[in-house]
Each structure stands twice: as C-alpha cells, then as structure tokens.
Amino acid sequence: MTRRLLAAIVLLVAVWRVPAGLAAPQAMVAAAHPLAVEAGLEMLRRGGTAVDAAIAVQMVLGVVEPHASGIGGGGFLLHYDAASGAIAVYDGRETAPAGATATMFLDADGKPLPFAEAVVSGVSVGVPGLLAMLELAHGEHGRLAWRDLFAPAIDAAHAGFPAPHRLVQWLGRMPKLADEPGIRAVYFNPDGSPKRLGERVNNLALAATMRLIADQGPRAVLEGDIAREMVERVRGHVRPGTLSPADLAGYRPVKREALCGPYRRWTVCSMPPPSSGGIALLQILKLLEPFAIWKEAPDSLQAVHLIAEASRLAFADRARYVADPAFVAVPVAGLLSDVYLDQRRALMSSDRSMGEVEPGVPPGYVERGTSHVSIVDRSGNAVTFTTTIEAPFGAQMMVRGFLLNNELTDFAARPEIAGRPVANRVQPGKRPRSSMSPTFVVDGDRRLLAALGSAGGARIIGDTVQAVIGLLDWNLSMQQAVALPRVINLNGATELEAETPLSGHADALRALGHRVQVRRHEGGLSGVRRVGDGWEGAADPRRDGIARGE
C-alpha cells in the first residue's frame, strides 16, 4: 500500500465532518491518539473545561505515545477565554540545571558531540516543566478536581492498550532502545522483539506514578523518591549530567503575553520566546502578504517558491536572535516591524531563489518527538497545547514508567561563533529555544476562528504556516489544511514532501535556484476551526490521531 493511498484512507476517518442539515459539534478535541481524544471528551461531558480536557489528553498521550511527550518533558499552552477574548500563555519549557556549562556539548577537542551521543546522555536532560505548567493552568482555568483528570491515563497504563502504528514504527527504527531495562520491559516482548501492531502494552510503573501525581500534584515527581531516582539516573550515566534535587524542586512555570500580529483581516496569536515559533510564523505570513498568495493554487509552483523564500528569511533571523528572553534581549518588535519586513521582503523574487541568506538587523537590536492538542469546550473556551520530550523516546532513560527528556540538545552546541556569543548557548537555568507554535486565529471582534499547532521539531513552523495559509487564504477545511503536502525551508534546502504533487516541482524549483530535497514528512498537525455556530476538527493523516466532537 502506497503512502498516498494510506493517507487517503486515513483522511476518511481522521476528521469529524458535519453531515448536511446537522448542527456542528459544540465541543471538539483533536489529538494524536483516539484514546487521548476520548479522555478529553469524557472530561468535557462531565462539565470540565478545555484545560481539564487538555490535561486528561496529555496524560493519556504519555501512556500511548510515550516517544513524543510525557510527564518527563515540557510544553507550551495557550488558553482562549470566550467571554473576554483574552489569551493566556503558559510556558512549561524545561530549564538547564544550575550545573550546566556552555561547553557541555563539546568533546575534548572543542568540537560538537555527534548528535546521537548528545541525545542519549545525562547532559541532555533538562528540568521537566510539564506538570508544574499544567497545575498552574488548571488552577486558573480548570473546573474538575485535579485527581479526576488522571483516571483515563491510569486505566490505560494499567489495563494496557493495543500498540499503535507510530509507536511500533519507532520501536522498529530504534532497536537499541531495548538496552534500557525499563523501556525493554514495557515496549518489547520477552524474546527481545519490539511490540508489534496491536499487541498489548502495559505500563504498571507509570500507572503507579500517575496515581501519586493525581494525589500529590507535581511535587510527587519534582521532590521525594522519584526526584532522587531521576537525579541518580542522570548523574549515573556514562556521560553524566548535573541535574540536582534543587533543580527539580525549584522549577517554576512562567506566564507570558501572547505574541499576536495582523494578517489580512485576521489576527494570528502564537507563542513568544523562548519559542521561535510565534515570531517566525508572523514574519512568514507578513512577508507573503503582498504577494496575493490567495490567488495561487495550494500546490502551484509559485506558492511553493514564495513560502520557501519567506521561510528561509525567518529562519535566518531565528538562528541569530531568538532565545530565552530572561537571558537574551530578543528584538521581537523589530523583527515584526513593517519597516524591517519590507526591507527583508525586497530580497525576495517571484522568479529566483535567494539561496541561503544572512540574518537582517532589526530596529531596536543592540549587540549583546513532540505532540499537539487542540480543544474547544462547550463554552467556547479553547486550548492549543504543544508538548514534547524532544527526540523520539527523549534521552532514552526511563524512571518509574516515564521517559526523561533530552531538551537540552535544543541549545546550540557551540557557545560562540566567530567570537560572537550565540544567543541560544547553554546557560544555567536557561530555557532552550523551541519551535513549538501553538496558535490561535481570531477575527476583528476577538472571536476565535481556529486553534492549531504541530509536532515536528523545527519543521513545526512550516507546517503551522501552511495550515494557517490554507485556512485563511485558500479557504480550506481544517482537514484539508492539515493534510496539505508540505514545503519546508530552514534557510537551506527547499524540502518537498515525497509522494505528493509537490515533488513534481523539484526540477522547476532547481531552475529558480533552489537546492531541493524530496523527502518523507512526519507531520503532526491537529486543529479545530469554527463552522457556523459549532466546530470542525482534524488530525494529521500522517500520524495516528483523530478529531471528535459532540
């Protein structure tokens, strides 16, 4: 079965469509696994809020999609209040331990460690922030009891679940995971073979850990016996890290202001630094605005070329300027100013690629495995929430049934380049730069039109941009927008998704000066869009997710 045929089949079941003559669902959950979606809907049926549902969804994802997210990681969550139109931003990004050093990802010769060695190590593990961030959001926007939100995840971990396609796929790609005793016991069979599609997976240790969190809150993991075990695993690794009990106990989530900007007649709001997602998303949209991209077909050569060119400009600035704002003065206003973007847009041509570009100098600058959840509750409040442990299976270390993150590899390995400090260098207590881009689109009355976001590392930004353009410029359904063939440019090669119509543009793009790669795309989008007085939802057909409403 080809990928294209498989995508077409999945497309039929991945979205809640509104039959003719029926009202659209009044609540919607879109996430990366059906059991997680059902957990969120259960909370909404019981009168819970979008935040209540998001917590239940996340806990189940940590059980059924452990390679992508979990309580050993972090995330960013945006909450939309339907009554006021206000958007609250919650930053649960991991932080570097107090003992972290700027050179910890360099070898004895001062060269960056091979990425695989950096990932599977104690130095890659950051202080997890997910639970503390969710507790803060629940305290402000939750309605159901905290402990009740864990019941579906505890049941799934204890009773077991059929191994889904994507988990099986990653287990097959990474046979060395079996070297970790905790991972081997849960995700491999007694004969050493990885779990096959549909085989039962139980995680009794994680069920027990979640019972403790349900009763005690985040301190069950950030303090006490579990915290000590995490520290022992990190410090006892052959390449040890510096994580300490004080690092864990001292973690605090941060509330931030949403980063919003105009795009045509709408307002797009996303995540501010330490994520680069919001800045890059808004830069790309504003760079494209005068090109009347709405007149182009989604798979046209001109649309692909312009999206790639705008993306490379945004990624050049991302690499130079964006990092944790507690450590670096990020020139956000300058990067998004009309004058600056007009200057950057002047570099673009409709019939020639710029090739790799240098960052600009914005006004005000002075030299100095991921998953996504989109939810709307019956009151119209919404959550867009991106959650991660970074690489598939994180640092490949398991404690009490959950995997530790490798988020610190999101820092730059080199602390300086050409004698200039790198903005995203490692510093104690710093949050590594992220590409996670949970996004809301609202109209002129602050009425929510869409909530969306993606998994996929640095490619999150391109996926989210294309989905927003699909919704706003090409008037696509949410399912069509998340399933669009992908064009990605990280200020290098223009990537075209294999086995899609876009791959046919490869030679024409090369003739325009692009360096082109045709490659598979992992995807990971999910979203919810307003339809009349209700909602439609969608999940990326490249993964195991669904959207359901009622």
| Average pLDDT per 10 consecutive residues for the chain, totaling 550 residues | 34 43 77 96 97 98 95 97 97 97 93 93 96 98 98 97 94 92 95 95 97 97 96 95 97 97 96 97 97 93 97 96 94 96 95 94 72 94 94 93 94 90 94 96 96 93 96 95 95 95 95 95 93 93 92
pLDDT of residue 23: 52
Q: Which phi and psi angles does 387 have, rounded to 5°? A: -135, 145
Give, to the nearest 10 degrees, the angle between helix 338-345 and helix 277-288.
60
How far apart are alpha carbons 313 and 299 in whole angstroms? 21
pLDDT of residue 286: 97
- Say how far apart CA 434 and CA 390 lie, in whole Å: 10
d(CA 213, CA 219): 8
Other CB atoms within a 10 A radius of the CB of residue 219 amount to 17
523 φ/ψ angles, rounded to the nearest 5 degrees? 70, -160
Report d(CA 521, CA 211) in Å as an integer.
Answer: 37
In whole angstroms, give the CA distance from residue 499 to residue 8. Answer: 12
> Strands (DSSP E) along 169-213, which ranges?
200-201
Place of tokens 């959650």: 387
Write down the catalytic residue from 370, 384, 387, 500. Answer: 370
The predicted pLDDT at position 28 comes to: 96
CB 337 within 8 A of CB 279: no
CA distance 5 to 11: 10
Strand partners, 15: 538
Number of alpha carbons in the 13 Å side-chain half-sphere of residue 98: 8
DSSP 362: -
Catalytic, 267? Answer: no
Beta partners for 268?
261, 441
Q: What residues have CB less than 8 Å from 131, skipping those under 6 apart? A: 71, 213, 217, 218, 221, 222
- Taking the alpha carbons at both ends of the chain, their separation in whole angstroms is 33
Which of 486, 532, 440 minimizes the C-alpha distance to 79?
440
* DSSP secondary structure string for all residues of 68-137: T--TTSEEEEEEE-TTT--EEEEE---B--TT--TTTTB-TTSPBPPHHHHHSSGGGPPBP-HHHHHHHH
Beta strand pairing call for 398-399 and 161-162 = unpaired
Question: Distances in Å between the alpha carbon of 241 and those of 125, 220, 224, 406, 491?
Answer: 7, 22, 19, 11, 32
Instruction: Give me 453's structure tokens.
Output: 């976001």
Domain ranges, ordered by start, for the chain: 35-72+93-252+389-421, 256-370+434-549
Query: What is the C-alpha separation between 474 and 351, in angstroms, rounded?
Result: 22
Q: How far apart are CA 451 and CA 471, in angstroms?
A: 11
State phi, psi for 443 to the nearest 5 degrees.
Answer: -95, -170
Phi, psi of 314 (to 5 degrees): -65, -40
Domain spanning 256-370+434-549 has what CATH number? 1.10.246.130
- Are 270 and 439 in contact by the 8 Å Cβ rule? The answer is yes
Q: Contact 395/119 with Cβ under 8 angstroms?
A: yes
Amino acid at residue number 116: A
Per the DSSP assignment, residues forming a β-bridge with 76 are: 91, 386
- CA–CA dist 191, 97 (Å, integer): 38
